[in-house]
Structure formats: structure tokens, C-alpha cells
Amino acid sequence: MAILVDDGTRLVVQGITGREGAFHTGRMLESGTNVVAGVTPGKGGQNHDGVPVFNTVHEAAEETGANASVIFVPPPFAADAIFESLDSGMKTICCITEGIPVHDMMRVADFIETKDATLIGPNCPGVLSPGKANVSIMPRDIFTPGKVGVVSRSGTLTYQIVNELTQRGIGQSTAVGIGGDPIIGTDFIEILGKFEEDPETDCVAMIGEIGGNAEQLAAEFVRSQMKTPVVAYIAGFTAPEGKTMGHAGAIVSGGESTAEAKSEALRGAGIRAATNPSEVAELVAEALGG
């Protein structure tokens, strides 16, 4: 099994004819993902890599039975693309776009509560269940099917950790990049809950970073709600206060948002907390062995 995306995923790519959309559609197809449609307003009727292109998501859903979307639309239009996806009945939406205004995302987050749908991101690498479906920009070669769930606020750091796991012969059930923005659709807790319910996830690696307090909230959830062992790593021990460290959400703005405070909270909740990516793989091996 896996979470969020699997063999039943019928994917529509919003922004399929753009530079990134086109490139990654090819890679998602190569991974065996069931990409049933693409959407680019004004380019309906075209074909891309054998995938039919539509003008609207509604049309794509009607014609192809799509149930999930991945968004490669530029920031000024990305929130609208999420609304379109939600109103067209998509159940899983991965928004890759970086740089969506916070106020736009607050409105999206509000609206999504009225829908039975899961938004991953924005500013995220997407979701990949090795051997089943790839709804992401993640390099699939580093993945191998297995029983470790990965959830992360960072994209490239996720690849780093998945790579370390694979090199140790440890496979993954699903890797989820939840995104590095201040407002994201799905938090650690919701993903941790899904992994807890997934019978084929035996251990979860959780990758956080400085800023906010999502990791502390997750630590409390792990302590009180989870039996599956969790290994964590927080990036940004050396980040200075008051500087935005690449992600809009990664800024030390008070005592509780530092890597140290977060690691401490995690350890306090009985979670194994690593200090660098290689150690994550070591601790996961340990957790699986014990």
C-alpha cells in the first residue's frame, strides 16, 4: 500500500505545456503514472506526449475521469488553478508552484475545508509512491519500493534522505513533500496520521526545518497518537535569526522556531532526532531493526 497516490490515481497536469510541466509530465509518464490529461487554457485539443490537452480542468475531468491534479502554473495564477481543481472534484492536488502570495493561500486553505480533498504544497516537490505513482518533480531513480514513509517540508533535502535510505537498502512506501511556505494545504500531522493507518509503512522519516512550530505540533501527535516509530531531522541549526533561509517559511523569529528547540521537542516526545541526513538513515535502520 501507499498513501495519497497509487495505482488508482488518474492524474491531470495543470500547466502541461509550460517548460516544467512538459518536462516533468514526461518523467511522470516514464514512472508509469496514469497521466490522463493536461490543461493549458487556449491549448485544448492539442496532444502532449500522447496526453490529451484540455482548456479547463472541468472538461478534463469529464472526459477522462481524472481524480488528482498536479499544478505547474506560475504564482500569480496558481491559487486560481487550485480553486479550479477543487471545484472540478479533484481529490488529491499537488501544487509544485513556488512563490504564491500568502493571502491567496489563506483563502485557498479556507475554501478547501468545504471540500473532501487533500492539497499538498504549494512550493513542494509532490508525492511519489515507488512502483505505483509519481505525482512529483522528484528524481524517481533514487527511490525503491519499501516500508518507510517520508514526509518533509523541503524538496531537495527529501531527495538527499531518500537517497541515503536507498543506498542502505531501505525502501520507501510513499514520500510526501508538504512544502516550505508559511501556509500549506497539508501539515505533518495529517500525513503522519495517514502513514500510521497504512499497514505497509513500518517507520516514518520526518524532515523539518526552522520557522513556525509545525514540528512541535507533530511531536505531540506522534507521542499521543502513533505506534509507528518516527525518526526526525530538522535542518537549519546554524541559521541566524531574522534571515529568511530560502523558503518563505524558514525564518528563525523566536525561541521555539529554532532547529535546536524543535529537535528538543521531538526528543522529548520519544522521537529519534538526527543531526544530519546520513544519521537519519542510520536511525531508520535502527528503528526497523528494533
Partner 1 sequence: MDLYEYQGKELLRSYDLETLPGIVAGTPEEAARAAETLGGTVAVKAQVLIGGRGKAGGIAVVHSAREAREAAERILGMDIRGHTVRRVYVEGGAEIEAEYYLSITVDRAAKRPLILFSTEGGVDIEEVAETKPEAIVRTHVDPLLGLLPYQVREIVFAAGLEGDAAKGVGRTLNNLYRAFEGLDASLVEINPLVLTKDGRVLTLDSKVTVDNSSLYRHTDIAELHDVEAADPQEQRAQEVGLQYVKLDGNVGILGNGAGLVMSTLDVVAQAGGEPANFCDVGGGADAEKISEALDIVTSNEQVESVLFNIFGGITRGDEVARGLLSAIERTGIGLPIVVRLDGTNAEEGRRILAENTPENVHTEETMLDAARRAVELARGARDSNGGR
Catalytically active residues, by annotation: 247
Q: How far is CA 57 from CA 37, 39, 60, 205, 235, in A?
A: 9, 6, 5, 34, 37
Distance of CA 10 to the CA centre of its chain: 18
Q: Residues 232, 245, 269, 271: which binds partner 1 (CB under 8 A)?
A: 245
140 is in an annotated binding site: no
What is the DSSP secondary-structure string of 55-73?
A: SSHHHHHHHH---EEEE--
Q: How far is CA 5 from CA 64, 68, 175, 237, 281, in A?
A: 17, 8, 10, 33, 24
Q: Residues 117, 138, 231, 261: which binds partner 1 (CB under 8 A)?
A: 138
Q: Residue 271: which of 279, 259, 263 has the closest Cα?
A: 263
In degrees rounded to 5, what are phi and psi of residue 23? -60, -50
Q: Residues 26, 41, 182, 193: which binds partner 1 (CB under 8 A)?
A: 182
In degrees rounded to 5, what are phi and psi of residue 20? -75, -40
Q: Residues 41, 44, 75, 171: which binds partner 1 (CB under 8 A)?
A: 75
Q: How far is the CB of 64 from partner 1 (least distance, A)?
A: 25
The smaller minimum CB distance to partner 1, of residues 51 and 79, is found at: 79
State yes or no: residue 207 binds partner 1 (CB under 8 A): yes
State yes or no: residue 154 binds partner 1 (CB under 8 A): yes
Site string for partner 1, 118-137 (x = CB under 8 A): -------x----------xx
Distance of CA 58 to the CA centre of its chain: 24
- The counts of H helices and E strands in the chain are 9, 14
In degrees rounded to 5, what are phi and psi of residue 142? -85, -10
State yes or no: residue 95 binds partner 1 (CB under 8 A): no
The smaller minimum CB distance to partner 1, of residues 99 and 270, is found at: 99
Q: How far is the CB of 10 from partner 1 (least distance, A)?
A: 23
Name residue 70's amino acid: V
Segment lying near partner 1 (by CB under 8 A), choices 37-45, 91-99, 194-202, 265-273? 91-99
Site string for partner 1, 8-47 (x = CB under 8 A): -----------xx---x--x--------------------
43 is in an annotated binding site: yes
Q: How far is CA 177 from CA 190, 196, 241, 248, in A?
A: 13, 17, 25, 15
Q: Residues 3, 28, 70, 157: which binds partner 1 (CB under 8 A)?
A: 157
State yes or no: residue 250 binds partner 1 (CB under 8 A): yes
Residues that bind partner 1 (CB under 8 A): 19-20, 24, 27, 75-76, 96, 98-103, 105-107, 109-111, 125, 136-139, 142, 152-160, 163, 180, 182-183, 207, 209-210, 212-214, 217, 233, 235-240, 242-250, 254, 259, 275-278
